[in-house]
A and B are shown apart, each in its own frame.
Chain A
Amino acid sequence: MVQIELKKSENLQNWMVIELQGELKSRYETGLAYNLIGDLHFTRKAFPVLIVGHHVIYGKKVDLEKPIAVLKKSSEQCDGIKPLLVHAIIKTKLVFSSRPKPIILHVSQKV
């Protein structure tokens, strides 16, 4: 039987996740790596606001009832099987599920 052990990384990190409805695509179909996502602000009431492209999305901070472990294949071998390394734990996410508001550019503002 195959047995894969989950091992806690020595410096277990706390990560965070942003959940967007839909999908991000790069403008030139070049993949997402290196691309800008957007600006993240927090309002004084601690609600997150995300400016993505020409959209503004208001979101909320959610503590996950079921936390998420970020697993990574370990480089060290142990009886021929590479254990999975628990690299980080995610306990909080920022959810942006409201309808994005378009940003309307006023030409007059620039002049």
Chain B
Amino acid sequence: MSEVNLDDLRSRVDLAKLELDELLQPAQVLKFAGSAADDNFTLLQLDKDVLQSLEEGKSVVIRGDVDDAAVLCTEDVTYDVKNASTSNMLILLDDCEINQENMKAYSAAQVKGEEAMTVREIEAVGWKQDYLELRKIYPKMTRMIQLLSKSPYKGPQFEEENANQQLYTLSKLMETIQASELEIMTWLCKTNCCCVNGFWRVVDFGYIVECMGELFQLIEAESWSCGSIPIHDACEKINDSGELVPEFMVKHLLGSYGSQFVSEDGAHCFKLSERKICRLFAEMLLRDVGKFNLSEFFEVWKGSLPAGMTSDEKYLSGLALIDRSSRPASICLFKVEELPLDMEARFDALFNAREKWKLSDIEPYIEDICMKGQTVSSVLTKFARTSTLNGEKLYSTRKPLK
């Protein structure tokens, strides 16, 4: 290491027309270390959340197959990773003093040159002209839907069918899906997946209908209320007559369509959600028919519900589309869960299904894929154009008509 020539340092200050009494000491002389290079480190731009995860020693993993774009997952968020290059040069220093508290003014003797300046020699460990950038993304769940749909759970007697199918535990899913643990768990719960013997399974809709039918029969036979179903009795009695519904499935369905509470006499009970049950029945009615006459639908829907539950059009948001312009007015199944997760593909699917949308109609089909900080209106501004008909704002595609 070469000693800094203090006279040279001082004359450089003079030549640069800097006044020593306006500067702070120590002066720092920078040079590149012998090992300095532009490829011994990778820079990764973080946001506060990722930084916190790293500092707390939580899991932060970069994931992807050979063909995938890499993503970075913390325990709860997924980020897209992109390389960004800059025309600026970033010089990396591991020991540079920038804290003003550790600096002080030069003394009069130093300014006059009677005493030497203080100096530190700093070695730069490297330089970079690129870094990795992170962008929060909606997790790539499409692959998970595909994987789990291959082997739906249809009941214990059909399990032999799935003997040769690959089934997925949570850790297997985390190895396969480019998403964080929290996002995977949230999605599994949202889509009412059930953990059967440690494997996460999509429950076949036909099987759900069958089991719920048994459950409603039992509720009626026992004269229970949908607002208070004793879980222990339900599991025991449902198997007394006819079809066998496994205990874990009873609990899973009660959990999916209701919420647990403890009654006054200490029994664990479930309260079925009116919204969820109404949606289940609406889907049952609409599932295998293309279009349904709207007034007939409301009639049948109302009549099909278990005692104590009342149908309401608001329960259909994100589930079915009502077309009041057709003669007669009609309704058809249009599930937000079955639409693409990519924002652009989602809008294509929406405008394919219907040319012009009212805000209240389109909202439930966009909300679910809005990222933190994104609002439905900001997304609409980006992906849709507006027109006004009879004083009402309508949204349509920005893409030219084919």
Q: Mark A19-36, 1 if CB is under 8 A from B, else 0.
A: 111111000000011111
Q: B28 contacts the other chain (Cβ, under 8 Å)?
A: yes
Contact A23 B89 (CB under 8 A): yes
Q: Contact check, B22 vs A68: say whether CB atoms are below 8 A apart.
A: no
Closest residue of chain A to B124 (Cβ to Cβ) is A37
User: Complex formed: what's the CA distance from A5 to B28 in Å?
Assistant: 37
Given A4-B61, A44-B22, A90-B92, 18 additional A-B pairs, CB 8 A: A8-B55, A8-B57, A12-B55, A13-B94, A15-B94, A16-B92, A17-B93, A18-B90, A37-B31, A39-B13, A40-B29, A40-B30, A46-B100, A56-B16, A70-B42, A71-B43, A86-B54, A93-B90
Q: Considering the complex, give the chain B residue whose CB is closest to the CB of A14.
A: B94
Given contact pairs A17-B91, A51-B16, A72-B40, A34 touches B62 in the complex (Cβ within 8 A): no
Min CB–CB distance B184 → chain A (angstroms):
13
Number of interface residues of B (CB under 8 A): 66
- Per-position contact with A for B21-50: 1 when CB-CB < 8 Å, else 0? 011100111111111110011111111100
**A68 engages B43 (CB within 8 Å):** yes
* Interface-centre pick from A4, A16, A19, A90 (highest chain B CB count, 10 A): A16
Selected from A2, A44, A71, the residue in CB contact (under 8 A) with B64 is: A2
B370 within 8 A of A: no
Chain B contacts of A75 at CB under 8 A?
none
Q: Which of A21, A72, A103 contacts B88 (CB 8 A)?
A: A21
Give chain B's interface residues, CB within 8 Å of chain A: 9, 12-18, 22-24, 27-37, 40-48, 51, 54-55, 57, 59-66, 68, 72, 87-94, 96, 98, 100, 103, 105, 122, 124, 127, 129, 131, 175-176, 178
Q: Are A33 and B34 in contact (CB under 8 A)?
A: yes
B33 to chain A, nearest CB (A): 7
Given known A15-B94, A34-B31, contact A87–B41 (CB-CB < 8 A): yes
